[in-house]
């Protein structure tokens, strides 16, 4: 019986690894002065559309759309490019201390994958630290039911019947999926990076208390490397020193496009062990669109001087109405990849069942 249990656990791990390779993708992208001028460049807009269409939720930064035409154009481009999904956006007000320079935080998301359940513009009014940010975080809460449901349907029900583990509840083994989460964006001012990163910890605590949630992700262009965040100053940043915060983009990662620089400016941080367990291992990374789309450095810099950073949340197998099992695909995955993944899933299932029969004879 012990061997059977180990085999079943091994099978479940295999299934999670396959599904984790797909996952629910959250991205953060500094678009570098995205506004009317950039939106008129068709080749740039095409590349931006391809990049953002890979994500279920994508935070956009440095949106300087004062004429309010560039963002609608981008959404229109996304919906024409990826007809399998419907894209919408939620945006902050225009933020910044200077009247001549303001930015917006924008979350572009697939309406079939998530719903917006809350918005909060941080007022930056903490006593003793008023106006800590140049661009105060625009916090958004999302519900993403497709990131996992544990029910008594196939394949879990089928496995229980075949393996005769009716007394064993498999739901706790798959409890790391996150259905609702909060995203806190931040594009720090380079000259004030240490102070703003530390102040993000206060934002985190307020959001946790306000919405009674532990599932919080902080993401964006933190300018958290090279000359903007000296090593000697890291001990003064609670977002770094406090426990229960997981920095997913390693310090030595290069999130910049220019070959002359190598800095981990753009980061993703999650709060809490449960959220950390819901992350597909090693999935947090920059997306090198220059290499992916075979662009020259000059062409890539027309798009942005930053690579987007991304991370995958674990998904569970999708259950169809006839009891068959398939895998939920997110992003613009090719049909061939879907077929390959489904074949692997079925192969694992059959192999595990045959091996289990041999062990129990």
Q: How confident is the model at residue 76 (pLDDT cuts 50, 70, 90)?
A: very high
Specify whether the backbone of 275 is left (phi greater than 0), alpha (psi in -120 to 50) or beta: alpha
Instruction: Read off the tokens for 99.
Output: 């009247």
Between the two ends of the chain, the Cα-to-Cα distance in Å is 11
- The pLDDT assigned to 266 comes to 98
pTM: 0.79
The DSSP bridge partners found for residue 221 are 266
The answer on pLDDT for 357 being more than 60 is: no
CA distance 360 to 171: 24
Distance of CA 287 to the CA centre of its chain: 12
Mean pLDDT for 198-209 is 98
- The pLDDT assigned to 7 comes to 46
213-272 confidence digits (pLDDT tens)? 999 999 999 999 998 998 899 999 999 999 899 999 999 999 999 999 999 999 999 999
The residue ranking higher by pLDDT, 331 or 90, is: 90
271-326 confidence digits (pLDDT tens)? 999 999 999 999 999 999 999 999 999 999 999 999 999 999 997 555 444 444 44
The reply to whether 236 belongs to the active site is no
**The most confident of 18-22, 177-181, 255-259, by mean pLDDT:** 255-259
CA distance 239 to 203: 11
Mean pLDDT for 192-211 is 97
Q: How confident is the model at residue 59 (pLDDT cuts 50, 70, 90)?
A: very high
Q: What is the DSSP letter of 138?
A: E
CA distance 48 to 33: 13
146-158 confidence digits (pLDDT tens)? 664 443 333 444 4
CATH assignment, 2-360: 3.60.10.10
Instruction: Please name which of 227, 255, 206 lies closest in space to residue 32, comparing C-alpha atoms.
Output: 255
Q: Which ranges of the chain would DSSP assign to H, the alpha helix?
A: 2-20, 36-39, 42-52, 70-81, 156-163, 193-211, 238-241, 273-277, 289-292, 297-303, 335-360
CA distance 154 to 42: 46
The answer on pLDDT for 34 being more than 70 is: yes
Q: How confident is the model at residue 23 (pLDDT cuts 50, 70, 90)?
A: confident
What is the SS3 assignment for 103? Answer: strand
CA distance 211 to 209: 6
The catalytically annotated residue of 62, 103, 136, 310 is: 103
The answer on pLDDT for 337 being more than 70 is: no
Q: How confident is the model at residue 145 (pLDDT cuts 50, 70, 90)?
A: confident
- The pLDDT assigned to 285 comes to 98
Residues in Cβ contact with 177 at an 8 Å cutoff, skipping those fewer than 6 apart: 147, 148, 278, 313, 314, 315, 316
The reply to whether 187 belongs to the active site is yes
CA distance 265 to 239: 15
The catalytically annotated residue of 62, 85, 136, 187 is: 187
The answer on pLDDT for 350 being more than 50 is: no
The residue ranking higher by pLDDT, 176 or 210, is: 210
Torsion angle (degrees, nearest 10) of CA 163, 164, 167, 173: 10
Instruction: Read off the tokens for 42.
Output: 């068709």
100-118 confidence digits (pLDDT tens)? 899 999 999 999 999 999 9
pLDDT mean across residues, the chain: 82
- The pLDDT assigned to 316 comes to 59
């Amino acid at each position: 019986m012990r061997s059977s249990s180990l085999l079943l656990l091994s099978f479940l791990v295999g299934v999670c690894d396959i599904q984790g390779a797909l996952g629910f993708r959250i991205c953060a992208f500094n678009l570098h002065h995205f506004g009317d001028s950039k939106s008129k460049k068709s080749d740039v807009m095409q590349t931006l559309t391809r990049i953002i269409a890979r994500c279920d939720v994508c935070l956009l930064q440095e949106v300087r759309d004062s004429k309010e035409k560039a963002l609608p154009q981008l959404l229109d481009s996304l919906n024409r490019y990826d007809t399998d999904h419907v894209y919408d956006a939620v945006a902050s007000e225009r933020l910044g201390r200077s009247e001549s320079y303001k930015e917006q935080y924008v979350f572009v998301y697939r309406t079939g994958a998530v719903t917006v359940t809350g918005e909060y513009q941080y007022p930056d009014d903490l006593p003793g630290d008023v106006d800590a940010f140049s661009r105060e975080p625009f916090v958004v809460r999302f519900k993403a039911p497709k990131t996992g449901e544990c029910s008594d349907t196939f394949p879990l029900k089928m496995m229980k019947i075949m393996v005769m583990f009716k007394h064993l509840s498999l739901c706790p083994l798959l409890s790391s999926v996150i259905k609702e989460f909060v995203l806190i964006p931040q594009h720090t001012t380079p000259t004030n990076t240490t102070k703003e990163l530390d102040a993000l910890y206060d934002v985190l605590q307020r959001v946790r208390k306000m919405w009674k949630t532990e599932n919080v992700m902080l993401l964006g262009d933190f300018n958290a490397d090279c000359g903007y965040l000296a090593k000697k100053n890291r001990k003064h940043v609670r977002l770094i020193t406090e426990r229960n915060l997981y920095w997913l983009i390693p310090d030595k990662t290069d999130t910049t496009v220019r070959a002359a620089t190598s800095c981990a400016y753009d980061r993703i941080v999650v709060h809490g062990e449960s959220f950390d367990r819901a992350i597909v291992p090693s999935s947090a990374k920059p997306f090198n669109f220059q290499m992916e789309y075979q662009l020259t450095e000059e062409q890539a810099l027309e798009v942005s001087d930053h690579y987007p950073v991304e991370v995958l949340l674990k998904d569970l197998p999708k259950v169809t109405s006839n009891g068959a099992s398939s895998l939920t695909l997110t992003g613009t995955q090719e049909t061939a990849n879907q077929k390959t993944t489904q074949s692997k899933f079925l192969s694992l299932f059959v192999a595990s069942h045959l091996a289990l029969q041999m062990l129990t004879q």
